[in-house]
Amino acid sequence: MPTYQAQVFVTLRPSVLDPAGTAVKSALEHMGHDNISQVRIGKLIELSVTALDEGSARSQLNSITDQLLANPVIENYEIRLIPVKELTAH
Amino acid sequence: MPTYQAQVFVTLRPSVLDPAGTAVKSALEHMGHDNISQVRIGKLIELSVTALDEGSARSQLNSITDQLLANPVIENYEIRLIPVKELTAH
């Protein structure tokens, strides 16, 4: 069975306050970077999945992300899959 | 000046232990997902930068990430820039 390298990007929904992002923005302003705005902090989870095909890998990852990796009430997520063969070709 | 939507992906260097990733992998095994391996948790920082051009936005982001967003001793990072015009075309 093929192995896929997966990246799960978890970000706060736009309507949810992000105190960590606000703190980073304020630190950047103190450092003189006043051309930066809308700082939001999210998570990036990388994992390897061995599955029959891309479809089944993706549906398993959707279920894992809904149950464990993200909080669907306050977070959005996006899943990117790369077959490992394609990875090693670089 | 153009505005760029930037994504900074911060990941632990491969040689650095990731206890949070190990905990997630173990939770997934308990949930029956035994086809998943190499779980690593990183950060995704999204921000908007107004800069003269892509080159100056990128060099400012490199400096910010080295100083504030990542710890270069234990973390790697990658910066992705999207001009906002391109963003709104989707």
> What's the confidence (pLDDT) of residue A90?
47
> What's the confidence (pLDDT) of residue B90?
47
CB B8 within 8 A of CB B65: yes
Say if B62 falls within a structural domain: yes
Say if B25 falls within a structural domain: no
Whether A68 has a pLDDT exceeding 70, the answer reads yes
A45 chain-B contacts, CB cut-off 8 A = 21, 24, 39-42
How many separate domains does chain B show? 1
Query: Which residues are within 8 A (CB) of A31 and not within 5 positions of it... i.e. 6 or more apart?
Result: B64, B67, B68
Query: What's the pLDDT tens digit per position in B48-82?
Result: 999 999 999 999 999 999 999 999 999 999 999 99
Q: Tell me the torsion sign for CA atoms A74, A36, A9, B44.
A: negative
Instruction: Measure the CA–CA gap between A40 and A29, rounded to whole angstroms.
Output: 15
> Across the strands, what pairs with A23?
none
Say if B70 falls within a structural domain: yes
B69 chain-A contacts, CB cut-off 8 A = 24
CB B3 within 8 A of CB A9: no
Say if B50 falls within a structural domain: yes
Compare CB distances from A36 to B28, B43, B49 and report the shortest one's residue.
B49
**Strand residue runs (E) in B31-89:** 36-50, 75-83
Instruction: Measure the CA–CA gap between A62 and A76, rounded to whole angstroms.
Output: 11
Q: Which domain holds residue A73?
A: 3-88
> What's the confidence (pLDDT) of residue B50?
95
The CATH number linked to B52 is 3.30.1280.10
Instruction: Measure the CA–CA gap between A23 and B82, rounded to whole angstroms.
Output: 24
In angstroms, what separates the C-alpha of A33 from chain B's closest C-alpha?
A: 9
Beta-carbon contacts below 8 Å between A and B? 96
Whether B88 has a pLDDT exceeding 60, the answer reads no
Q: Are β-strands B3-12 and B75-83 bridged in parallel, bridged antiparallel, or unpaired?
A: antiparallel
Say if B26 falls within a structural domain: no
Note whether B40 contacts A46, CB cutoff 8 Å: yes
Say if B74 falls within a structural domain: yes
CB A45 within 8 A of CB B24: yes
- Across B16-34, average pLDDT: 97
Find the closest chain A residue to B2 by CA distance: A35
Q: Give the Cα-Cα-Cα angle A39, A40, A42 (nearest 5 degrees).
A: 150
> What's the confidence (pLDDT) of residue B48?
96
Whether A85 has a pLDDT exceeding 90, the answer reads no
Question: CB count, 10 Å around CB of A48?
Answer: 15
> What's the confidence (pLDDT) of residue A15?
96
Query: What's the pLDDT tens digit per position in A46-61?
Result: 999 999 999 999 999 9
Q: Is the ipTM of this complex over 0.85?
A: yes
> What's the confidence (pLDDT) of residue A86?
54
CB B8 within 8 A of CB B69: yes
Where helices occur in chain B by DSSP H, the ranges are 19-30, 54-64, 84-88
Query: What's the pLDDT tens digit per position in A1-37?
Result: 899 999 999 999 999 999 999 999 999 999 999 999 9
> What's the confidence (pLDDT) of residue B87?
52
